[in-house]
Chains A and B, each alone.
Chain A
């Protein structure tokens, strides 16, 4: 996930339009569609030059002609088949010429229909959204009713009143489709209204119209463009349908829909006549739709990754234990979870392989809490996902080993991993409510893993789940079992998350920023609960956070991560009071209690670099106040035991800083 944020920040450096163009250029299909539509526009404009015959010119010696590329010799009524590429109808009228004629009608009709829809629909939606209140509700209520009725029905009504004719038909279509613009623009105005800058603009004394034109229109432009493109397709379909029925465009005008209606009668004698107009309609609509989709993809977000798929580890790809790790054999033997030299790579949008985690190692013993700290984008969450084998595709583990109790997770099948997840290692998440299924009651989702891992019956699992809720101190657990996640507060939902994680008696609990989204008092309660449960159950906990205050409270040992690497690790007290890496030192200096009254809080200058752009040598050196030339070279960046004056602990204290012995950390 960290990588995505970084991609975004990087993309922001381009202008919005530049980024859009760059992404649109990759939509080859959409570009083809755009070219096709431009071609149609050309045909529509130069219609009269392109038509070999006029629309009503009857070649009485060439009736019922098949297209000229098939054998016409047995069609006795057709004497000049070569003049008529797409054949002729019962009067000898040239299908090709009529198709070209219809192109302009189709283009005119769609432009007119969309323009009317926009002129009618946009102001209604903008006003409703902007005025709000009762006006908004009343207007949108009527708009929604019209929107829900079949478009043809409304068009029937309008044409019945106004009479036949292309303009009337397109007014009808425009009225029908205007509701889409109203709904769209109103929704966006409502969203934008919430934005601070509109309030700011209002306070600044700008008029409503200025706000609409300067602030809201630029924001609704992208979805509007997409919607307009899709609407063109819809208008063409409705126009064709109306023409087909003989309602709207006069019967004498060969629009594509009218040509189809005429060919209906000749379906058994000259079936080919129904092909060109049908293909023309379908292709034009398709082109508008593809263009709309392409625009949407260029303007929107990507959905091709999901939480279900993991790229399985390629055995040759993974080098195991080629590097040494700071974790000793005896330490590893005592640990419940050991990560050794884990490397994770993601393909970037530009196709190159980007290393997200580099040589990450840590371990945690039963009853112990390992705190992992770092800024966002440092790879904290990625490392724990690697330990569960749930790195979202297309990312993958390319080196290292994960050991969970007696199990080595390398090269395990998905099925084998599933038996361990929940059962041996479980996880609680940063956003407790989002981590619960909104469509199921809490009880319904708690019982499934127990039925699977513990082999409990539904009733047994239900009882155990109720007990677990009691254990995590949720009042009235019997009633809460039947409630949905959105009925829980964040703190209560996190307790449910903890109950779920502990339901199958795991030995390792991963807590991925479990208190970040909660307010401070609730934060304390959740931490106390976790500590108590750890004492009772002997859990090994990996606690991820960017909050050093929280870490000091929960952790026995910490690992500090920066840019996909562990840069310092050791006993929590030692590291926090006696940091031996400039990054840890800088992090500690940003804590509020280091602040001096009247002075801004100290911050670390610069940002964590994105994985695509990691500096050579020590990745922290561009932001490091102690950096020298040697830091940007590929010197020894592995974790080295630090000899400090303070009492050495069980684990030892390790730092990746090259200059660790030279710097005065004061």
Chain B
């Protein structure tokens, strides 16, 4: 039984890795096309408005952007694969170096936010889904509706105001790396993790609730009940795994939203993360940095989705077999 199972999982993992590679290509094409779509050329931005057409043409030739577009793309791609995403126009430093310094901050609060969101969301959702229509269900449903509607960055400001400024429990600005002090690290990302996690928890709870309630209406639950299994045996052994299937998908989608919100929450807590760099780059039309950011974050999301897909296959035997 175990061997068969392991065999299925290996096949699943390999097939998911194979489907992921073309996705990465699409992201690089999207990022590359983005720069091509810009009215005018990079050279014009670099040289400012007063530059002569000759100077622009000279710089274009130097940068190689006068060549055929496909050659440019593969040139850029091969550089990217070697870890060279170009030099930022605004920060005036290699993009990979800049992102190398900031991604850990963003990753820390995304991780914190997901931990808070998934844990809280699953617990609330299961409790509410077991007794739809009950008082507890109503309270958590209302709570979830409100939670989903809160902008993470405003929630962050409120948390900063109450737990930071007023009660002085957590730092309101700045970031401590894990290497400096693990405890300090947790301390510095707590508020942002909750700001990111609470709306996610609300969404996951909603999904879990309706999924659980739906599963509990199904025929196989009635069949197990007719066999004399009690409530908790049925929930733990039969309902939970099935109810988790759609929730896993939602958690996957939510990860992208949390990454997006993290960009904004970084600004609230003045964290030196990727999002603040991106926002600065966007306002200053630093297309090279934005391009690099899109590739890196896109790749991260695609890998994360691959892992979610594998978990999904683990839960749902129908996917695993076909």
Interface residues of A (CB under 8 A from B): 141-142, 145-146, 148-153, 156-157, 159-161, 163-164, 233, 237, 240-241, 244-247, 257, 260-261, 263-264, 267-268, 271, 274, 277-278, 281-283, 285-286, 289-290, 293, 303-309, 388, 390, 392, 414-415, 418-423, 426-427, 429, 431, 434-441, 443, 445, 448-449, 452-453, 482, 484, 486-487, 497, 500-501, 503-504
Contact B220 A438 (CB under 8 A): yes
Least CB distance from A123 to B in Å reads: 20
Measured between beta carbons, the chain B residues less than 8 angstroms from A141 are 26
Query: Is B34 in contact with A161, judged by CB distance below 8 angstroms?
Result: yes
Could you say which residues of chain A place their CB within 8 Å of the CB of B302?
145, 148
- Besides A148-B252, A153-B294, A497-B223, 19 more A-B contacts (Cβ < 8 Å) are A145-B26, A148-B302, A149-B297, A160-B287, A240-B151, A246-B279, A261-B267, A282-B149, A289-B149, A293-B145, A303-B213, A304-B133, A307-B217, A308-B130, A308-B221, A308-B234, A437-B220, A443-B1, A448-B233
16 sampled A-B residue pairs with Cβ under 8 A: A145-B302, A153-B298, A161-B287, A240-B153, A247-B283, A267-B172, A285-B150, A289-B145, A303-B213, A303-B217, A419-B228, A434-B218, A441-B317, A445-B224, A445-B238, A504-B228
Q: Assess A500 versus B227: contact at CB under 8 Å? Given A267-B160, A439-B317.
A: yes
Q: B242: CB under 8 A from chain A?
A: yes
Could you say which residues of chain B place their CB within 8 Å of the CB of A482?
Answer: 1, 4
Q: How far, in angstroms, from A432 to B222 measured CA to CA in the complex? A: 12
Q: Are the CB atoms of B231 and A429 closer together than 8 Å?
A: no
Closest-by-CB residue of B relative to A251 is B283
Identify the closest chain A residue to B258 (Cβ).
A150
Could you mark each residue 220-247 of chain B with 1 if its beta carbon is under 8 Å from any beta carbon of chain A, else 0?
Answer: 1111111111110111011001100100
Q: How large is the interface on B (under 10, 10 to 19, 20 to 34, 35 or more residues)?
A: 35 or more
Whether the pair A421, B228 counts as a contact (CB closer than 8 A) is yes
Give, as a whole number of angstroms, the nearest-CB distance from A171 to chain B. Answer: 12
Q: Is the CB–CB distance between A145 and B23 below 8 Å?
A: yes
Residue B122 CB within 8 A of the other chain: no
**Is A285 a contact partner of B279 (Cβ separation < 8 A)?**
no
CA distance A160 to B287 in the complex (A): 6
In the complex, the answer to whether B146 meets A286 with C-beta atoms within 8 Å is yes
Interface majority SS on B: helix, strand, loop or mixed?
helix
* Residues B132-153 near A (CB distance < 8 A): 132-133, 145-146, 148-151, 153
Are B229 and A418 neighbours in the complex by a CB distance under 8 Å? Answer: yes
> In the complex the two chains form, is A390's CB within 8 Å of B154's CB?
no
Contact A156 B153, beta carbon cutoff 8 Å: no
A372 to B35, CA, bound (A): 73
Which residues of B (40-70) have their CB < 8 Å from a CB of A? none
Query: Which positions in B face A, CB cutoff 8 Å?
Result: 1, 4, 23, 26-27, 30-31, 34-35, 37-38, 130-133, 145-146, 148-151, 153-154, 157-158, 160-161, 165, 172, 210, 213-214, 216-231, 233-235, 237-238, 241-242, 245, 252-253, 256-257, 259-261, 263-264, 267-268, 275, 278-279, 281-283, 285-287, 290, 293-294, 297-298, 301-302, 305, 315-318, 321
* Least distance between B287 CB and chain A CB atoms (Å): 6
**CB-defined contacts of B161 to chain A, threshold 8 Å:** 267, 271, 274
> Cβ of A159: which chain B residues have Cβ within 8 Å of it?
282
Closest 10 interchain pairs by CB? A150-B260, A306-B216, A422-B228, A152-B260, A421-B228, A422-B227, A286-B149, A278-B154, A285-B149, A307-B222
**List of B residues within 8 angstroms of A414 by Cβ:** 230-231
Determine if A435 and B264 form an interchain contact, defined as CB atoms under 8 angstroms apart: no
Q: Which one of B34, B151, B218, B317 contacts A237 once the chains associate, using CB atoms below 8 Å?
A: B151
Residues on B with beta carbons closer than 8 Å to the beta carbon of A281: 151, 154
A274 touching B224 by the CB < 8 A rule? Answer: no
Residues of chain B within 8 A of A289, CB atoms compared = 145, 148-149
Bound: A263/B267 CA distance, A: 13
Q: Is the CB of B214 within 8 A of A452?
A: no
Which B residues are CB-close (under 8 A) to A244? Answer: 151, 153, 264, 267
Question: Which of B37, B224, B241 sits near A439, CB closer than 8 Å?
Answer: B241
Quick one: closest B residue to A309, CB to CB? B131
Please indicate the chain B residues that have their CB under 8 angstroms from the CB of A161 in the complex: 34-35, 37-38, 287
The 8 Å CB contact of B318, one of A271, A420, A423, A438, is: A438
Contact between A160 and B34 (Cβ–Cβ < 8 Å)? yes
Residue in chain B with minimal CB distance to A384: B226
Whether B317 lies near A148 (C-beta < 8 A) is no
User: Which of A157, A267, A435, A486 has the most B CB atoms < 10 Å from its CB?
Assistant: A157
The answer to whether A306 and B282 have CB atoms under 8 Å apart is no
CB contacts (< 8 Å) of A503 on chain B: these are 227
B317 partner, pick from A283, A438, A497, A504, beta carbons under 8 A: A438
Are A305 and B238 touching (Cβ within 8 A)? no
Q: Which residue of A has the minimal Cβ distance to B4?
A: A482
A277 vs B151: C-alpha distance when bound (angstroms):
11
Query: Number of contacts between A and B (CB, 8 Å)?
Result: 260
Separation of A274 and B241 alpha carbons in the complex (Å): 42
A421 touches B226 (CB 8 A): yes
Q: Known contacts A303-B217, A439-B315; is A452 also within 8 Å of B228 by CB?
A: yes
CB distance from B266 to the nearest CB of A (A): 10
Chain B nearest CB, measured from A172 CB (Å): 10
Residues of A within 8 A of B27 (CB): 145, 149
Q: Could you tell me the distance between the alpha carbons of A500 and B229 in the complex, rounded to whole angstroms?
A: 13
A484 touches B256 (CB 8 A): no
Q: How far is the CB of A612 from chain B (nearest CB, A)?
A: 21
Give the chain B neighbours of A286 by CB distance below 8 A: 145-146, 149
Contact (Cβ within 8 A) B264 A241:
yes
Report the Cα distance A487→B161, complex, angstroms.
57
Most buried by B among A159, A293, A388, A439: A439
A276 to chain B: closest CB distance in Å?
11
Q: How far is the CB of A213 from chain B (nearest CB, A)?
A: 31
Contacts of A153 in B (CB 8 A): 259-260, 263, 278, 293-294, 297-298
Nearest CB to that of A462 among chain B residues? B1
Please determine whether A150 and B219 come into contact, CB atoms closer than 8 angstroms.
no
Q: Nearest-CB distance from A567 to chain B (Å)?
A: 27
**Partner of A453 from B130, B228, B317 at Cβ < 8 Å:** B228
Q: A151-B257, A156-B293, A422-B226 are in contact. Are A306 and B264 (CB under 8 A)?
A: no
Residues from chain A with a CB closer than 8 A to the CB of B225 are 307-308, 390, 421
Q: Check B259–A157 contact: CB distance below 8 A.
A: no
Q: Indicate if the CB atoms of B285 and A282 lie closer than 8 Å.
A: no
- CA A157 – CA B245 in complex, angstroms? 33
List the B side residues contacting A157 at CB < 8 Å. 30-31, 34, 290, 294
Known: A244-B153, A282-B151. A156 touches B282 (CB 8 A): yes
Return the chain B residue nearest A142 by Cβ: B26
Q: Which residues of B contact A429 (CB under 8 A)?
A: 219, 222-223
Q: Find out whether the CB atom of A290 lies under 8 angstroms from the CB atom of B145.
A: yes
- Chain B residues, Cβ within 8 Å of A434: 218-220
Beta-carbon contact of A431 and B227 below 8 Å: no
Q: Which of B30, B226, B256, B316 contacts A427 (CB 8 A)?
A: B226
CB pair A245–B279 under 8 Å, yes or no, is yes
Q: Which residue of B lies closest to A277 (CB)?
A: B154
Q: Report yes or no: A448 in contact with B26, Cβ–Cβ below 8 A.
A: no
Point out the residues of chain A lying under 8 angstroms from B286, CB to CB: 160
